[in-house]
Structure 1
Amino acid sequence: MAFARGTAPLVELGFPFSSSFSFRRYRFVVPRINSTRLVGSCSRVSIAIRNHQNPCFLVPRRSRIGEFRLFGSVELDRFITSKDEAEMSEGFFEAIEELERMAREPCDVLEEMNDRLSARELQLVLVYFSQEGRDSWCALEVFEWLRKENRVDKETMELMVSIMCGWVKKLIESEHVVGDVVDLLVDMDCVGLKPSFSMIEKVISSYWEMGEKDRAVLFVEEALRRGIAYTVDDEESNKGGPTGYLAWKMMGDGDYLGAVKLVIDFKESGLKPEVYSYLIAMTAVVKELNEIAKALRKLKGFMKVGLIAELDVDNVRLIEKYQSDLLEEGIRLSNWVIEEGSSALSGVVQERLLAMYICAGRGLDAEQQLWEMKLVGKEADRELYDIVLAICASQKEVNAVARLLTRMQVTSSLHRKKTLSWLLRGYIKGGHFEDASETVIKMLNFGYSPEYLDRAAVLQGLRKGIQLSGNVEPYLKLCKCLSDADLIGPCLLYMYISRHKLWIVKML
């Protein structure tokens, strides 16, 4: 059975195969990392041949040690010094030779020579078999034995991690299939070397920097499907594991919608993205909605100066639908966080939802979210209340504005002025100039001086209103209040009664 299973990989890799060979236990991983090793003029498959006693497979002693320096996939200078090379014992060379023969299991060889090998020499055994052209799986077996014997200290762990990082980098740069990289991470876990999240990050970043973004997505998808376990280096980073980190990379490139779709597609395909990836995707929703809002403001500016035509009904409907779809996806993500995460995340979810509603200009939804946050003990900042107040004012949500203004009664004078300024600008943005005029008068009564540009915008809006409705009272009333507050000088009002062909001039 072993013969039948071992034949195909050898033939595919182009290595000579003989039915007289007897194989040690079957390993798939080795051909993917180092498919052959060359000693003199001989070549051999790294899953190795039992009882093949050709002398050319033996390791000449001192002449081979210099080859450590030829291995470029791992930075070995921090682990190997000239002193190490000078102090290698005969036991070290014998262990290398015995392991190279593969006549016995590595654990049996090491057990027999345990007393003759120092901790440093065992590290160098790892380095030797990690070099390109040697049996990479042997390095993993040596490490596994060290772990079982409780002989893995911090330096040995760092060495093995460095070796594994070199292998991963080599697989990526040589454009191996994504499955090979995932298999290597699985093999790490099999020997008790659980990959750290930083290694997962490096794999994703390597694909990303090479422009292989599709392969980065495939890697994360395969890692989720295979259930790759990893240790968390920094729990404060909150990049959400593989899915979250990939979504975070997409956001860095400005692909906010792609980040949202990535997380949702993984979830709906039966995979299990980490909970924090949902929060990162919610952040992407906020950023995408904010980009839409900025684009709409630019469009309105262009329309105002006549550079482009007004948006037709169909385009307005498409924009509103796009915003609504994004909000729905954000709400779905928030539900997944609540279902799969801890209660400690509820406050973060509420903040994200509030930001989504604000960016989408949903005044009533944002106001409701403010009260819900207050109920769960996660009250929003005062400035967020003011922003929501301005949105509701622009949409002339009278009841919502009244409810939000109740907080103004218990705030300081400085904050009361800021709140009224936000209210004033909300009315101006929505084109509700009579309400804006009343707000200016209220501010004057409180002893606050509205900003010059705000006053000018209200006066200009009221003048346009006179031409449409003929009602001059709001304008006259505001002019008088501003004059009394010494914010404008005396003004003359000209009125023309066309029926009587009469001009009336009045000083205010």
Structure 2
Amino acid sequence: MASNHGFASLTDLGITYTCSSKRYHLLVPQIYRNIIVHSCSRVSMTICNNSQNPRFVSAKKSKIRDFRLLKSVELDRFLTSDDEDEMSEGFFEAIEELERMTREPSDVLEEMHDRLSTRELRLVLVYFSQEGRDSWCALEVFEWLRKENRVDEETMELMVSLMCGWVKKLIEEKNDVADVVDLLVDMNCVGLKPNFSMMEKVISFYWEMGEKAGAVAFVREVLRRGIGYQNNGEEGHKAGPTGYLAWKMMAEGKYLDAVNLVINLRESGLRPEVYSYLIAMTAVVNELNEFAKALRKLNGFSKNGLIAELDSENVQLVEQYQSDLLADGVRLSNWVVEEGVSSLHVMVHDRLLSMYICAGRGLEAERQLWSMKLAGKEADGDHYDIVLAICASQKEAGPITRLMSRMEVLSSIRKKKTLSWLLRGYIKGGHFNDAAETVIKMLDYGLYPEFLDRAAVLRGLRNRIQQSGNVETYLKLCKRLSDENLAGPCLLYLHMKRHKLWIIKML
């Protein structure tokens, strides 16, 4: 297998190549610094750069013919088998002829192809990648190899490594992103098709070097030129640079940056790939989730007296931030629908559902459940239960009725889980009368609520008695729990202030 240590360098890209038969003279400096290329498991060639002359180092100098053009070049051959074949005369003649640039490389190679081995052709590629050589010649040699069906896996890996090195050096030296895109166009023109996305590789180079702005500029330039993307994934969706960069941002927890990237590109008149909208919607979900966690932690500090409660102005700011995120998510979903890719509609509703759940919007979340079902995919039972709990906490009678209509066909285990979510939703919203009715309904089904849930309902009802004086619901629940052996005997105390009388009753 071909491997290399080190990357190519490309400091001055002198011309933009267009796909044509005309030869362009493209000089690219220093391609390898101390690179070793193992070729055909038979020959390795070390290219050493010194300030004056690049050289091929030879272990058998006596066998190397006088090569007038390459006076500063020596060849280092390390044989790994008993075969001691040396570079053929054709190899040196090909180098000399290509250096003269009097004929098209394809013409030279066509004339000499019978005299050059695959190994020697690889060495030609590496030779023209050196500093001061016409590196475009390497691309032309590769193009000819491809047309002649002489590009094997090892040659492909070698050429890809050369291209990656050139790109990396361009980025390191902070060249204009247009030069980087030009190089990708050149690569495509000569038919170099690696088994990975070169666009994603370039974005990774920018990202790993801390050039975040460069990555954004690169994606913008690719979209501006309308360079196509490769199909990716079993579903046939098109992966592209926008979505990949947004994913890189999400991986570092920069969810809002990912959302703004996609929205800003679209609103500037560019057309990101449709799948990037879904990735940005996922970023909205993650941002809303993190925001909800922060709010819960803040409320916990407030209940423990560690900080003051949020005033009305801060509460309004919190709600506005959440609303803005939801609006961004809806805008992204509309763009997906505008693209007319019906197979993505289920994913759109799924992400909208997650967004509304994270934001605690029960009505909107319930609509997405039914929209998903109409689109051909039903959400799992846990999503129904979570939405039910949110609606219960907000006492949305209509959605609760609709969501509970499916309970009759559920198994007893699933039924207990659904009713438990309903119960906890009522408790969270402070609707203890409804919570008590839910406990009794569970007992009617032969299901027993968790101890903490029962205790929370009784505590909530007891506190309400002190405010309203209404004891009927509390007494009814206590009696039912006692009948089910879920509560011990209760003593009820009633104080009649007017008569200064205490009434004590055993329940």
Structure-2-length-normalised TM-score = 0.84
SS at match of 1:65: coil
SS at match of 1:113: helix
Change (3 A) 1:420 1:239: farther
Q: 1:196 offset after TM fit, Å?
A: 5.4
The amino acid that maps onto 1:150 is: N
* 8 A Cα contact 2:461 2:474, kept in partner: yes
Alignment of 1:106-125 (within 5 A): 106-125=105-124
1:382 and 1:490 map into 2 onto residues whose CA distance is: 38
Q: 1 or 2, which has the higher helix percentage?
A: 1
Show the counterpart of 1:74.
none
Show the counterpart of 1:20.
none
Alignment of 1:385-424 (within 5 A): 385-424=384-423
The amino acid that maps onto 1:58 is: L
Show the counterpart of 1:59.
70
Show the counterpart of 1:177.
176
Alignment of 1:327-346 (within 5 A): 327-346=326-345
Change (3 A) 1:146 1:291: same
Aligned residues: 463
- The superposition leaves residues 455-488 of structure 1 with CA deviations (integer Å, 9 ceiling, x where unpaired) of 1111111111112111111111111111111111
- Structure 2: gaps spanning 5 or more residues: 1-10, 15-21, 33-47, 55-65
1:41 and 1:250 map into 2 onto residues whose CA distance is: 44
Show the counterpart of 1:191.
190
Establish whether residue 325 from structure 1 lines up as the match of residue 324 from structure 2: yes
Q: 1:175 offset after TM fit, Å?
A: 3.5
Show the counterpart of 1:467.
466
Q: 1:419 offset after TM fit, Å?
A: 0.8
* 8 A Cα contact 2:28 2:133, kept in partner: no
* 8 A Cα contact 1:195 1:229, kept in partner: no
Alignment of 1:147-166 (within 5 A): 147-166=146-165
- The superposition leaves residues 254-305 of structure 1 with CA deviations (integer Å, 9 ceiling, x where unpaired) of 1111101101111111222111111111111111111121122112212222
2:160 and 2:120 map into 1 onto residues whose CA distance is: 18
Q: 1:119 offset after TM fit, Å?
A: 2.7
Structure-1-length-normalised TM-score = 0.84
1:470 and 1:347 map into 2 onto residues whose CA distance is: 50
| Between 452-461 and 149-158, the greater mean CA deviation after superposition | 149-158
1:235 and 1:207 map into 2 onto residues whose CA distance is: 28
The amino acid that maps onto 2:405 is: T
1:498 and 1:368 map into 2 onto residues whose CA distance is: 51
- The superposition leaves residues 156-190 of structure 1 with CA deviations (integer Å, 9 ceiling, x where unpaired) of 22321122122222323344333322221111112
Q: 1:128 offset after TM fit, Å?
A: 1.6
Q: Percent identity?
A: 71
Change (3 A) 1:271 1:32: farther
User: Which protein has greater RCO, CA pairs closer than 8 Å, 6+ apart?
Assistant: 2
Change (3 A) 1:83 1:392: farther
Change (3 A) 1:377 1:231: closer
2:230 and 2:109 map into 1 onto residues whose CA distance is: 29
Q: 1:338 offset after TM fit, Å?
A: 2.0
2:267 and 2:194 map into 1 onto residues whose CA distance is: 27
Q: 1:26 offset after TM fit, Å?
A: 4.6
Change (3 A) 1:287 1:57: farther
Alignment of 1:146-295 (within 5 A): 146-194=145-193, 197-231=196-230, 240-295=239-294
Change (3 A) 1:266 1:239: same
Q: 1:237 offset after TM fit, Å?
A: 11
Change (3 A) 1:115 1:86: closer
- The superposition leaves residues 59-85 of structure 1 with CA deviations (integer Å, 9 ceiling, x where unpaired) of 149x5223x99xxxxxxxxxx978899
2:340 and 2:68 map into 1 onto residues whose CA distance is: 56
SS at match of 2:335: helix
- Cα RMSD, aligned residues only: 3.0
SS at match of 2:102: coil
The amino acid that maps onto 1:471 is: N
Change (3 A) 1:257 1:32: farther
| Between 338-347 and 473-482, the greater mean CA deviation after superposition | 338-347
- The superposition leaves residues 311-362 of structure 1 with CA deviations (integer Å, 9 ceiling, x where unpaired) of 2222222222212221121112112212225221111111111111111111
SS at match of 1:495: strand
- The superposition leaves residues 214-259 of structure 1 with CA deviations (integer Å, 9 ceiling, x where unpaired) of 1111122222222334545765797932111111111111111110
2:198 and 2:373 map into 1 onto residues whose CA distance is: 41
| Between 220-229 and 253-262, the greater mean CA deviation after superposition | 220-229
1:119 and 1:89 map into 2 onto residues whose CA distance is: 12
